[in-house]
Amino acid sequence: MSHTQITMYGTQWCSDCKRTKQFFGEQRVHYDFIDIDSDAEGLAIVQRVNGGKHIIPTLVFGDGSTLVEPSNAELAAKLGLQTKAKRTFYDLIVVGSGPAGLTAALYAAREGIDTLVIERGGVGGQAGVTERLDNFPGFPDGVSGNEFADRLRRQAERFGVEILSAQEVTGVGVDGDYRSVRTVDGEEYRAWAVLLALGSTYRRLGIPGEEDFIGAGVHFCATCDGPFYRGREVLVVGGGNSAGEESLFLTKFASKVTIATHAPMLSASRVVVEKVEASPQIEVLSNVSPAAFRGEGHLEAVDLKDVQGGEMRTLHPAGVFVFIGLSPNTALVQELVETDERGFIVSSPTLETSAPGIFVAGDCRAGSTKQAASAAGEGAAVALAIRAYIQPRAGGTPRPELAAAMAPAGAS
């Protein structure tokens, strides 16, 4: 997103500075950061803006205006983001604006279904924060996540989809024929149907440098980013099945894969462990845990700490892949719809959840493949199922061939 020049004055330790940085990161807004612990001129500016007081973060905009310790709502307003819907009733409300949510929304809106999308972060979901999508069909040279998200948003808006961002959904409900969605600012919106396209979150290590190097040497998806490391050495963090399987996959590209696990041995299944042990390209370092990622603009070094003795050592892999689990963003609907033991939402063949009129698509769905193209594919499929569900309620009747196509396999 382009915006006037923004300078944030803050410190590394201030939690509101971190929240503000995260907000700008999610909205893909560029800003300059001045650490007032090490910049006397920056400290003087903070004091001047705040009448001699030392309040951070202090934001100075290109037009000279300032915001001091702003809430996310104030930041959204300053950036001109739409956080409130124009009406209270829509045919369809989509929660989440990743590839699944936006594809469903644009399919639905193109069919005349009045659609509202509500997104808690920036539009585009995980795909939007990806450095580069190399395997999305139709982009022979790859596409930056930023551009991909922007294209999806523009395409959805062209068909009339209304999109709220920086607005979190805190509850979803069923009330007779209507479905309701509550947002963190206390609003409630209603619709005939709701699509949960909530995505999932790769668990992070939470160590210094991790956020800074995501997409610049730190990765969470081997299928997505492994091919960038052809002939180079990579480090895998984790010790379970996904760490083992993804390490084996990475040997197709990387010259060497080092697995770092904090446990004395890999906890993956025996079959996976045997394959790992048999691979001449894989080395396992046990009882170590990453302590920091370092570099200038791109990852250059990883500090590993011995979990028993505390000794430190430094490795210099070209890239790091972190596989310590994936959590679905489904906490808000755990009481409403059936989920599997890991919290992913269970669906029917027509992508409907256990709650009628509440549909699911993409990474938060049990059995999904956690790829942008498949999330978009599920978005298209669920939009057709939603159309068949909505039409009789909203006044129309579904075309017979559509109703047949949407019936579960084996149904007559």
Note the residues at the interface with ligand FAD (CB under 6 A).
95-101, 118-121, 125-127, 130, 133-135, 168-169, 197-199, 202, 214-215, 220-221, 224, 329, 332, 362-363, 370-373, 375
Residue pair 192/386 in contact (Cβ under 8 Å)? The answer is: no
Q: Enumerate residues 6+ apart whose C-beta is below 8 A from 368.
A: 344, 362, 374, 375, 378
End-to-end CA distance of the chain: 49
Select from 212, 197, 208 the least CA-distant residue to 121. Answer: 197
Specify the residue for token string 């697995």: 259
Beta-strand pair 188-196/358-360: parallel
Structure tokens at 152: 């999806």
- Whose Cβ is closer to ligand FAD: residue 20's or residue 103's? 103
Closer to ligand FAD by CB, 250 or 375: give it: 375
Comparison of 9 and 148: residue with beta carbon closer to ligand FAD: 148
What is the rounded distance in angstroms from the CA atom of residue 226 to the CA atom of residue 254?
8
Nearer to ligand FAD, 134 or 233 (CB): 134
Sorted by sequence, the CB contacts under 8 Å of residue 245 that are 6+ apart come out as: 268, 272
Q: How far is the CB of 143 from ligand FAD (least distance, A)?
A: 10
C-beta closer to ligand FAD: residue 60 or 322 = 322
Spatial separation of the C-alpha atoms in residues 264 and 351, rounded to whole Å = 42
Is the CB of residue 335 less than 8 Å from the CB of residue 233?
Answer: no
Between the CA atoms of 206, 100, 230 and 294, what dihedral angle is there, to the nearest 10 degrees? Answer: -20
What does the DSSP 8-state code read for residue 219? E
Q: Which is nearer to ligand FAD, 10 or 145 (CB)?
A: 145
In the complex, least distance from residue 73 CB atom to ligand FAD, rounded to whole angstroms:
15
CB 79 within 8 A of CB 1: yes
The Cα 106–Cα 155 span in angstroms is 7
CB of 111 to ligand FAD, least distance (A): 20
Written as one string, the DSSP assignment of 75-105 is: HHHHHT---S-S-SEEEEEEE--SHHHHHHH
Judged by CB, which is closer to ligand FAD: 98, or 239?
Answer: 98
Residues annotated catalytic, as ranges: 221, 224-225
Least gap, CB of 209 to ligand FAD (angstroms)? 15
Give the nearer residue to ligand FAD in terms of CB position, either 305 or 365. Answer: 365
Q: What angle do CA 346, 206, 340 make, to 5 degrees?
A: 10
State the sign of the Cα–Cα–Cα–Cα dihedral 385, 172, 360, 111. positive
DSSP code of residue 120: S
**DSSP labels for 268-281?**
S-HHHHHHHHH-TT
Specify burial of residue 281 (Cβ count, 10 A radius: 0-12, 13-18, 19+).
middle
